[in-house]
Amino acid sequence: MDFGPIGKKVLQEEIISLQGLYNRFDDEAFSKVVELLANHKGKVVFSGIGKSGYIARKLSSTFNSTGTRSVYLHPCEALHGDLGIYSKGDPTIILSRSGTTQELLTFVQVIKPFNSPIIAMVGNLSSPLARIADFVLDASIQKEADPLGFVPTSSTTVALALGDALASTLMVAHQFTHADFLQFHPGGQLGKVLGRCVGDLAHPIQEVACVNPQQSLKEVVVELTLKPLGAALVMDGKQLCGLITDGDIRRAIQSGKALESITAADMMTTNPISVSKDLNLEKAMQLMEDRPHQLSVLLVLNPDKTCYGLFRLHDAYGHVGK
């Protein structure tokens, strides 16, 4: 049986729900919530129950890693001692599709003494939770995406996207930088990318094939075979003249010229894209990837603009994948 169409139908339904969220997005309500959270000096409390609770946990984690202090508080545990997490005035974001869950409504009542502004991220705008909240963010959907039409699918996707929009906007409000993110996320692949620079992974000039402008196509290929990094530096003494990549060699062969007459000067790119060895690894990868024809190598320069060596996209992927 081909199950692909069923999976695609689920994705289609979730896309429709996200498009609906976008179409009815309330800029004014959203901005008021962002201003409240951005100006609060304490933490943000997330709460929810069931699948909404799992989304609330994820959003709390995203807030923490992007510069907005946050905790997740289970509404039932709050009634049994965990209210001690509160400081006066901590805003509380409550996620609920129905807005009628009794545990959540009880939770709202018991946190009133903390003067906690209540932000309801809710799927039912006429629900009790929406009525008693100080701020309401519309997370409603037409229907869930599963075949039965009631399993939390589209609703959790919409809530997650809306929470991500809050976190991302707060990053702008707090002027959150790459350096800030690295401070909170030094481990894993993201930490490896954000914490390193081109010079950490670039191959110094001693490891790179080097030819002079007069050398033949055959001699260039031999040098690239001995030092197979995907590119050769064309040097006139200590002066860098250009760069020859594997692609340049293929284009030279396809040009129709007599192969024995082709020199390094004929094939080289005289103005190759270059970067400083101090450039952040992530930015270097973006420079190589975010273009119509992806770059496989970058020329790396020392602070005095002399040639340091080559940076390969292949090495970058090998590094972040470890």
Copy the structure tokens of residue 55: 């989304």
In eight-state DSSP terms, residue 202 is P
In which domain, by residue range, is 264 found?
198-320
Convert the pLDDT of each residue in 199-237 to its tens digit. Answer: 888 899 999 999 999 999 999 999 999 999 989 999 998
Distance separating alpha carbons of residues 92 and 252, to the nearest angstrom: 64
Decide if 210 contacts 237 (C-beta within 8 A). Answer: no
φ and ψ at 308, to 5 degrees? -90, -45
Write the DSSP assignment of 16-40 as a string of letters. Answer: HHHHHHHHT--HHHHHHHHHHHHH-
Residue 296 pLDDT more than 80?
Answer: yes
Note whether residue 45 is domain-resident.
yes
Same-domain pairing of 116 and 264: no
- For residue 321, the model assigns a pLDDT of 44
Strands 297-301 and 307-312, by their bridges, are antiparallel
Domains in the chain, number? 2
Q: Which residues contact 278 (CB under 8 A, 6 or more apart)?
A: 197, 198, 199, 303
Same-domain pairing of 97 and 165: yes
Note whether residue 101 is domain-resident.
yes
CATH number at residue 293: 3.10.580.10
Residue 318 pLDDT more than 80?
Answer: no
Copy the structure tokens of residue 249: 């060699």
Copy the structure tokens of residue 142: 């037409």
pLDDT class for 190, splitting at 50, 70, 90? low
